[in-house]
Amino acid sequence: MKAVGLHQYLPIDNEQSLVDLNIDKPQPGPRDLLVSVNAIAVNPVDTKVRAPKAEPVTETTPKILGWDAAGEVVAVGSEVEKFAAGDRVFYAGDITRPGCNSEFQLVDERIVGKMPCTQDFQASAALPLTSITAWEALFDRLGISPEGEDAGKAILIIGGAGGVGSIAIQLAKTLAKLNVIATASRTKSSIWVKEMGASHVVNHRNPVDQELKEIGFEAVDYILCLNNTDQHFPAMAEAIKPQGKICTIVENTAPLEIGLLKAKSATFVWEFMFTRAMFQTEDMDQQGALLSRIADLIDREELVPTVGETIEPINAANLRLAHRQLESGSTIGKIVLAGWG
């Protein structure tokens, strides 16, 4: 089968950073689906895994990236219960297994959902990783009610125009009924976050606590940080209400001054959507369940897809282009690649 992968971890401008491959088609294990991949999306995690390491590393078996896909089930393992050949599915997958940048991929059925009936493969491929991340961050980590029991409370979403932000704004507005403040630093991204449902927009190029005060918010109940935890942490500590909650998905590169939160008894929590699959947690199947919920919300037009750009076909040159765009930090919505040519 065709695939795109790497043998060395290189800067994206190096043509060997992602290369076209021909590798063996895998065979499903007991809980696996074998999926014919029709469309994929790229995420910052792809660029981070691909980036050069502190010490040079050479992979004897090619490393296949990619953690957002939509396709059709072509075979199932002996213990699969929820899917059959012919089902159209979407999923983010498991970072400990080969990714979706290949014509066929194995994925555990517990972290898979059936595609929205109203959407094509391209639109569906843009949804899984960001939907799972946003859902878990808002409803599992921050403890916000998805039934609207926290209606009217304020949330600041830092980095609102990216893939996760685009879904998080919608979930916070539509399901949780929160007052959503999103950050954006350009006119185009400001327009985008308003279209996603943000009631207010502030600029994350400036300290976000000062930006909030300028629009009349002394503090907010929740903060979801999707951009540069190191840079924003002091301002987040200032902006969070006493007993409020902060969640970030962006790893820190320097020690955080957690003590800034002590007087407020504020909560700080991480979200990493691969945790359940990586550690085979008892509630691993919750990711499949929440993808089904997302598909239903999309079909009922309570959520909208977040594709910013589609590139065809799927190959190494186009994936290098997509990685380069992500690394520029100016991407709005999701970049999707479709078709193997």
Q: What pLDDT score does 331 carry?
A: 87
CA dihedral 249, 252, 257, 261 (to 10 degrees): 0
Question: Is it true that the peptide bond before 242 is cis, omega within 30 degrees of 0?
Answer: no
Whole-number CA gyration radius for the chain = 20
CA–CA dist 337, 322 (Å, integer) = 9
CA nearest to 321, candidates 67, 70, 46: 46
Question: Within a 13 Å sphere around the CA of 95, how many CA atoms are in the beta-carbon half?
Answer: 15
Expressed in angstroms, the distance from the first to the final Cα of the chain is 13
Look at residue 121 and give its three-state secondary structure.
helix
Phi, psi angle pair for 149, to nearest 5°: -70, -15
**8 A C-beta contact, residue 197 and residue 221:** no
Residues in the chain: 341
Q: What pLDDT score does 83 carry?
A: 98
**8 A C-beta contact, residue 240 and residue 267:** no
CA angle 294, 297, 303 (to 5 degrees): 95
- The alpha carbon dihedral of 10, 16, 20, 26 has a sign of negative
- Please give the structure tokens belonging to residue 189: 């991204």
**8 A C-beta contact, residue 35 and residue 105:** yes
- The alpha carbon dihedral of 201, 245, 224, 151 has a sign of negative
pLDDT by residue for the chain (341 residues), tens only, comes to 999 999 999 999 999 999 999 999 999 999 999 999 999 999 999 999 999 998 989 999 999 999 999 999 999 999 999 999 999 999 999 999 999 999 999 999 999 999 999 999 999 999 999 999 999 999 999 999 999 999 999 999 999 999 999 999 999 999 999 999 999 999 999 999 999 999 999 999 999 999 999 999 999 999 999 999 999 999 999 999 999 999 999 999 999 999 999 999 999 999 999 999 999 999 999 999 999 999 999 999 999 999 999 999 999 999 999 999 999 988 899 999 999 98
Tracing tokens 């899917």 back to the chain, one arrives at 83
CB atoms within 10 A of CB 118: 13
**8 A C-beta contact, residue 67 and residue 133:** no
CA–CA dist 175, 166 (Å, integer) = 14
**8 A C-beta contact, residue 244 and residue 225:** no
CA–CA dist 232, 254 (Å, integer) = 12
